[in-house]
C-alpha cells in the first residue's frame, strides 16, 4: 500500500500477457508480473500432503471437483491468523463453486497451519498451499524473498471450475479470489487477498468474497510466513 509505484509496474507488466500468467513464479515477488497464480509446475508429489483432508474418491489434480455444500448466502468465514482475525462475507450467487469449495476445505481443517507464501506490496497476499505446513515461518518468508519458487504449487488434489466470466465482483482492497495457473479451471485451494484495487485482474480470476472493513488492517499486516491458525464458518448449514 505504501508503494503504489510497485502496483503500477505490476499493471504495466501484466497487460502485455494474454492471461497475465507465467507457468512458474507464483510464489515470489519476481512473479508479480504474472498476477496471483498457482504454480503450474505442480507435481503429484507436490500435491501429496493433503490426503488426510481428501477422501479417496476425491478427483485427482487436473480433474474437476464439484462441491456438495450448498451455500445459503449467510456464511461468514472467520480466518484467524497470527496477525489477527479476518472476517469474509462470501458471494455465493456469483461464485457458488469457489465459495462451497472454500467452505468445505475450511470445515475439514485443510487450511489450519498453512502459511501465506507470497506477498507483493500494494498487490496481493497469497496463501492456501499445504506444502507450507510444518515449514518454519522464516523459511517460507526466505523462499518468498529469494524468489525460490519453493511454494505455490500445492493444492487439494483436484481443480474447480472458473467462475469469473460473468462475475460482476471487482478486485478492491480486501477482496478474496482464487489463484490459478494459465490453464482453464485450474484453481484448487490457493487464494489471495487484494491489497488495493486491481482492475487489471477483473474478469480473469474468481472473486468470491470480501473482507469487512474492520479486517483490512489485519490483511495489510500479513506477510509471507504468517500462519492461518484456523478458519471457521459462521452460519454454515452443516
Q: What is the tens place of the pLDDT at every residue in 65-122?
A: 999 999 999 999 999 999 999 999 999 999 999 999 999 999 999 999 999 999 999 9
Summarised one tens digit per residue, pLDDT across range 132-163 is 999 999 999 999 999 999 999 999 999 999 99
Q: Are 121 and 90 in contact, with CB atoms under 8 Å apart?
A: no
Band (pLDDT 50/70/90 cuts) for residue 50 is very low
What's domain 4-234's architecture?
Answer: Beta Barrel (2.40)
What is d(CA 112, CA 134) in angstroms, rounded to the nearest whole number?
Answer: 11
Average pLDDT, the chain: 82
Q: Taking the complete model, does pTM exceed 0.85, yes or no?
A: no
The one-character DSSP state at 38 is: -
Pairing state of beta strands 175-178 and 207-211? antiparallel
Comparing C-alpha atoms, which of 128, 42, 36, 80 is closest to residue 230? 80
What is d(CA 129, CA 163) in angstroms, rounded to the nearest whole number?
Answer: 21
CB count, 10 Å around CB of 72?
A: 11
Pairing state of beta strands 76-81 and 175-178? unpaired
Please give the pLDDT value at position 184: 94
Q: Longest C-alpha distance within the chain, in Å?
A: 47
Q: Are 162 and 185 in contact, with CB atoms under 8 Å apart?
A: yes
Q: Are 140 and 203 in contact, with CB atoms under 8 Å apart?
A: no
CB count, 10 Å around CB of 45?
A: 9
Residue carrying C-alpha cell 474437476: 64
- Dihedral angle over CA of 208, 213, 214, 219, nearest 10: 50
What is d(CA 194, CA 36) in angstroms, rounded to the nearest whole number?
Answer: 9
Amino acid at each position: 500500500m505504501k508503494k503504489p509505484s510497485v502496483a503500477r509496474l505490476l499493471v504495466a507488466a501484466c497487460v502485455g500477457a494474454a492471461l497475465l500468467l507465467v507457468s512458474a513464479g507464483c510464489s515470489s515477488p519476481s512473479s508479480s508480473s504474472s498476477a496471483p497464480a498457482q504454480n503450474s509446475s505442480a507435481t503429484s508429489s507436490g500435491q501429496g500432503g493433503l490426503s488426510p483432508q481428501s477422501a479417496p474418491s476425491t478427483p485427482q489434480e487436473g480433474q474437476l471437483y464439484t462441491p456438495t455444500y450448498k451455500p445459503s448466502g449467510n456464511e461468514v468465514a472467520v480466518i484467524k491468523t497470527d496477525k489477527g482475525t479476518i472476517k469474509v462475507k462470501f458471494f455465493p450467487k456469483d461464485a457458488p463453486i469457489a465459495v462451497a469449495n472454500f467452505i468445505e476445505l475450511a470445515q475439514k481443517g485443510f487450511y489450519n497451519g498453512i502459511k501465506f507464501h507470497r506477498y507483493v506490496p500494494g498487490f496481493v497476499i497469497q496463501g492456501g498451499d499445504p506444502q507450507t505446513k510444518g515449514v518454519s515461518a522464516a523459511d517460507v518468508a526466505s523462499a518468498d524473498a529469494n524468489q525460490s519458487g519453493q511454494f505455490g504449487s500445492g493444492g487439494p488434489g483436484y481443480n474447480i471450475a472458473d467462475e469469473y466470466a460473468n462475475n460482476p465482483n471487482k478486485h478492491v482492497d480486501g477482496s478474496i479470489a482464487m489463484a490459478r495457473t494459465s490453464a482453464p479451471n485450474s484453481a484448487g485451494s490457493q487464494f489471495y487477498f487484494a491489497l488495493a484495487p486491481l482492475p487489471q485482474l477483473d474478469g480473469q480470476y474468481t472473486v468470491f468474497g470480501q473482507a469487512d472493513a474492520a479486517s483490512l488492517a489485519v490483511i495489510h499486516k500479513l506477510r509471507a510466513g504468517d500462519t492461518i491458525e484456523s478458519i471457521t464458518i459462521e452460519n454454515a448449514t452443516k
